Amino acid sequence: MAASNTLWIRAGVVSCILAGVGQFATDYWFIRHYPGYNWLAESVSRLGQVGSPVMQEVAVWGVVFAVLMILFGFGFYQAYSREGVWARLATGMIVLYGLGEGVGSGLFPVDPISGLKAPSTFLHDLFSMMGDAGLMLLPLVLLKVFPRKAHPVFPRLSWFTIISGLSLASLFTLTKMFPQESGILYYRGLWQRLYILIYHLYLVAVAFKMLPRQTT
């Protein structure tokens, strides 16, 4: 493999790890600097909404996150593009997640007063849904890239991510549809952060699978 490809693969691996660590490190920092914010019950989006004391910092991190995920996607492409259309589609899912959750959600804050009437809220929700779709479809696509015969363990991780991730994401969605002051549907922020954690651990696992491709 060409030296330039090896460099891009390594950059992709490092970018994925930095994006995952940064996602939760910045979340912790934002929470610490947002008085009264309840991370168990409030969504991540509220950290960057209009009027938030950390709105600008959330926007900056969103752009950085998008750049890191795009680098990860490009590294994945360099490693697996020869595997065919499914690998190229997986690259698109990674980039879509980075753009949706990074640039889109970061630069278009939710307006809690105007709601969906505000263009920024509409665009925030649109980009967020696109990003989530990319993230949640990725394990399904990678089942084609890493078939069971050649990769006996990885499909199990993919199915674990699909089942547990979608279950927690569904719980998060239900908390928005049926908000409660107590009970399981009270913990909107917790369910959201748990499903983000599961998917990011999966992304890191994908990144480490890229390393042997440096020599092929």
Instruction: Give pLDDT tens digits for 151-166.
Output: 889 999 999 999 999 9
* Segment 40-50, tens digit of pLDDT: 999 999 999 99
List, as own/partner pairs, every contact residues 184-188 make where C-beta atoms lie below 8 angstroms and the sequence separation is at least 24, other chains included: 186/40, 186/41, 187/40, 187/41, 188/41, 188/42, 188/43
CA 197 to CA 136: how far, in whole Å?
A: 13
Q: What is the mean pLDDT of the chain?
A: 92
What three-state secondary structure class fits 181?
coil
CA dihedral (60, 32, 34, 136) positive or negative? positive
Q: In the chain, what are the domain boundaries?
A: 3-215
The pLDDT, as a whole number, for residue 213 is 63
Q: What is the pLDDT of residue 215?
A: 53
% of the chain with per-residue pLDDT over 90: 75
Report d(CA 151, CA 212) in Å as an integer: 13
Report pTM.
0.92
**Confidence tier at 3 by pLDDT (50, 70, 90):** low
Q: Convert the pLDDT of each residue in 62-92 to its tens digit.
A: 999 999 999 999 999 999 988 889 999 999 9
The confidence band for 105, taking pLDDT boundaries of 50, 70 and 90, is: confident
Asked if the model's pLDDT at residue 216 lies above 60, the reply is no
If phi > 0 it is left, if psi is from -120 to 50 it is alpha, else beta; for residue 84 that is: left
Question: Which pLDDT does position 199 carry in this prediction?
Answer: 97
Q: What is the pLDDT of residue 66?
A: 96
Please count the helices (runs of H) and the strands (runs of E) in the chain: 7, 0
